[in-house]
Structure 1
Amino acid sequence: MAAVAVVVPDAADALVSASGESEAAGRESVSPISAPTLIAAVPPTPAPTVSAPSPPGPAAHPDPIPALAESSSGVDKKCIFCKIGNKEEPTDLLHWDEQFACFKDIRPGAPHHYLVVPRKHIGNCKSLKKEHIPIVQAMVTIGKSVLLQKGIDDLADVRLGFHWPPFSSVAHLHLHVLAPASQMGLVSRMIYRANSYWFITVEQLIEKLKSLPEDSSGS
């Protein structure tokens, strides 16, 4: 920015002498005007630009692939859920990818009742270890995504969990996704009773797995 010269008059040009010693009575005597003082205006220093901090993005779940590969023993040709997950059994799949599949439960306990299973064979939730938490988290993400696709947006009114062996009907890890939980019947409320001896919620399972050493399974 170019400097601007500002003229500041000296205070002397505002003074008027009224001395009576002047030869002409009543004649006003004006003090000589001093030369104006030039002051260079300093251009203002621009304020530093402060960037607003970027909002933190959603926390990503750990990749379930390593844990899934370590935990699974391939595909069990006799397991019905292995067959469904690998499209060897005619089933309407609501979700299918490289690692997981989701489909309707044949005996629904709620208006919306889905099962999320790994495509590779994993015995049950009791056989999981601490490092398998990403598998459970990925299954939950898929289950909630399917509910949203089906128009269920109240995810607080949902029951997510696993039957604890020996109360699991199929010896292949499967997450029950039931909604709305408030519309479950009396029998279903018992079968999928939260944190009972036979049914464990996702939150309780994850806390249980977190308490295990790295090389131990649930018990």
Structure 2
Amino acid sequence: MYWQTGLIKSLLDPTNLIITTDVAVVIADKYPKARHHYLVLPKEDIASIFQLSKKHLPLLEELHLLARNIIEIRGESYESFQIGFHAQPSMQRLHLHVISKDFVSSCLKTKKHWNSFNTSLFITYETLYAQLSNEGHIQRLPKDIVDELLAKPLTCNQCAFVAKNMPLLKEHLQEH
């Protein structure tokens, strides 16, 4: 099985499931980029955000409800999390990220990791839901825009600090 389809394998293993409903499951991200990093996946076989249509709005609402549930179950504050999708998904199977804003993790290693969550490469649930409601589909970002966003400086998501490299950013994040 290719790494891009790893989420499907995780979805099928009951030991990975934290919450499960008839419609979706919540699992812990195997390579968390923060102290809390969960994925909410539909049971329906939807490859990515680009296969969504208006008919999927109720499904998205269920995914968001489960995102809120895992935050509550963990005893955390909703405001301490980002909930959304990657505009440039790397894994097959639609998945909603539920990630704490601390970004303290040994798995956070590259500028690409950072910028995929801290630029407009990360589409919040609300933004994606509104776009799908209004336009009926999700548009891919042009490659030049993706490249530009991936090349952005390593700017802290909690203050104006700009790090020269990932080790300095990670050290800075520990201080927050």
Question: TM-score by structure 2 length?
Answer: 0.66
Q: After TM superposition, give the deviation of residue 202 of structure 1 in Å.
A: 0.5
- Are positions 1:82 and 2:82 aligned together? no
Point out the structure with max Rg over C-alpha: 1
Count of aligned pairs: 130
Contact 1:82 1:120 in 2 (8 A): no
Could you list the runs of 5+ residues in structure 1 that have no partner in the other structure?
1-77
Match of 1:20 in 2: none
Match of 1:203 in 2: 126
Equivalent position SS for 1:117? strand
Question: TM-score by structure 1 length?
Answer: 0.54
For 1:3-152, list aligned pairs within 5 A.
79-85=5-11, 87=12, 89=13, 91-152=15-76
Percent identical among aligned pairs is: 28
Could you list the runs of 5+ residues in structure 2 that have no partner in the other structure?
140-176
Question: Which is bigger in relative contact order (C-alpha 8 A, separation at least 6)?
Answer: 2
1:137/1:193 Cα in 2 relative to 1: closer, same or farther (>3 Å)? same
Distance 1:119 1:136 in 2: 12
Distance 1:97 1:90 in 2: 12
Distance 2:137 2:95 in 1: 17
Distance 2:54 2:24 in 1: 20
CA RMSD of aligned residues (A): 2.1
Whichever structure has more helix as a proportion of its residues is: 2
For 1:122-201, list aligned pairs within 5 A.
122-152=46-76, 154-164=77-87, 167-179=88-100, 181=101, 183-185=102-104, 187=111, 189-194=114-119, 196=120, 198-201=121-124
Q: After TM superposition, give the deviation of residue 131 of structure 1 in Å.
A: 2.5
Distance 1:79 1:109 in 2: 19
Match of 1:69 in 2: none
